[in-house]
Amino acid sequence: MPTTEADKMTSAESEAASNGSTSQEVILSVPDSRPRGILRRWGLTLLAFSAAAISLPLTSLNSLMQPAPIDPHDYGARAKDVLSKTPLIDGHNDLPHLIRVELYGKMYDGSFNFNDKLLGHTDVQRMRKGQMGGQFWSVFVECPEAHVDIDDPTHLVRDTLEQIDIARRFIHEYPSTFQYCDTPSCARAAFKSGRIASMIGIEGGHQVGNSLGAIRQMYDLGARYITTTHNCDNAFATAASTVAAGGEDKGLTPFGHEYVAEMNRLGMMIDLSHVSHQTMRDILSITQAPVIFSHSGAYEVQKHLRHVPDDVLRSIKKNGGIVMAVFVNRFLNMKNPDQATIHDVVDHIMHIVKIAGWECIGVGSDFSGTPAVPIGLEDVSKYPDLVALLAERGATDEQLRGFAGENLLRVWGNIEKRGKEIQVTTKPNEAATGFANSPFMFRSTREKSKNLKRVPHNFNVNNKGIHAPGN
């Protein structure tokens, strides 16, 4: 049937078939198909014109809505932009210590409102103004005043636990401002949610009772770094202050080697601020993970023994660690501390960067832990000014991001990762300081036991295994 055949034809075939054909079906099919093709083409053209007509204003509107590119010489604007995208994480703030010594750890009686402007360097308003993204809160307890032997009992572990408690309660008290974190990924997530990631660091090996077991428990309570010494030697290492006072730099002790191994295994950050130069070198020669300086400067810039000498900065570069720049006047300008300025801090940073590279620099103020801070860095609101000055000295935005927080998060992540690797093959370290000479529990138990009959008195059972409370 012609009709059926024509129906099966394509329009080209219909045109070919229509040449000389009189078939109505075929003829009809041709004029019918042409106008449709023309209409479709015109329709598409119209559509394209309409789309262009609509999209042109949209494009220009879009470009209007995009922020104008930042003038690379507008250092303040660049600093603000960088800190809006990258968490600025300070390595060291002693506010929990102030809460202990000034408020006796009491935060609920109305005398302490962290949202109001407080005296001192740190409060919420100024942290927000300073575009802070994270803070390692130091849980610091003073070095013992008198010399204590390695196994002498002290209150330091209890006090440190109380400081961890203060830091955790303080963080918990301001949930819309702070988020407690014990991993780098948590710190990033806190920043994204608009809160200030809050971590815990212990400022002194003297605070752990010379015990690797206590370190493990403090890790479980959330502490993520230990400053290997404060201003006193301990079972692990020699402090810079000992050497500054004329003492011998003995570096790391044999037990300090066990400390380093256990810190590496835990994935806990070893902090070398406050230690002697030999301790820095000894630890860098054996550590299996990167190390940090939570609040230090460059020894070459200011010859304070607490600062990091150039050979150690070179080792830090190889080690993949980080030096976080300190703001303490007497470390920045030993001759005239009152004249220390933000520019001194920049000089330290630029020297560390010159020797160790932009990957190894961060910020660790010591705000609320030192009475005197530099002109231009009066409190936690001033970080953007420091970032702007680094931009002015030639830092790229990527380098600024590293300085602000990316370097620390990378180093911390690598330490965490290394710990997990070590844990696959290594059990918790059971090394302990000389129990053989212990003046308390073990020795006295051993001596007493010489005069005791072997009765199972410990469990209050008689020698037939029957519970007998009176025994």
User: Which residues are catalytically annotated?
Assistant: 92, 94, 203, 230, 274, 295, 366
Task: Print burial letters for 226-249: b (CB count within 10 Å at least 16), e (below 16).
Answer: bbbbbbbbbbbbbbbbbbeeeeeb
Q: What is the C-alpha separation between 29 and 63, in angstroms, rounded?
A: 50
Specify whether the CB–CB gap between 75 and 386 falls below 8 A: no
* Overall residue count recorded for the chain in this entry: 471
Angstrom CA distances, 402 to 72, 132, 182, 293, stand at: 18, 14, 20, 15
Q: Are 226 and 196 in contact (CB under 8 A)?
A: no
CA-based nearest residue to 325, from 354, 290, 300, 360: 360
DSSP 211: -
Crossing angle (nearest 10°) for helices 95-103 and 156-173: 100
Q: How many CB atoms lie within 10 A of CB 140?
A: 24
- What is the C-alpha separation between 193 and 145, in angstroms, rounded? 44
Identify the H or E element spanning 420: helix 407-425
CA 358 to CA 351: how far, in whole Å?
A: 10
Q: Which residues contact 363 (CB under 8 A, 6 or more apart)?
A: 88, 89, 90, 91, 324, 325, 383, 386, 403, 404
3 state SS of 462: coil
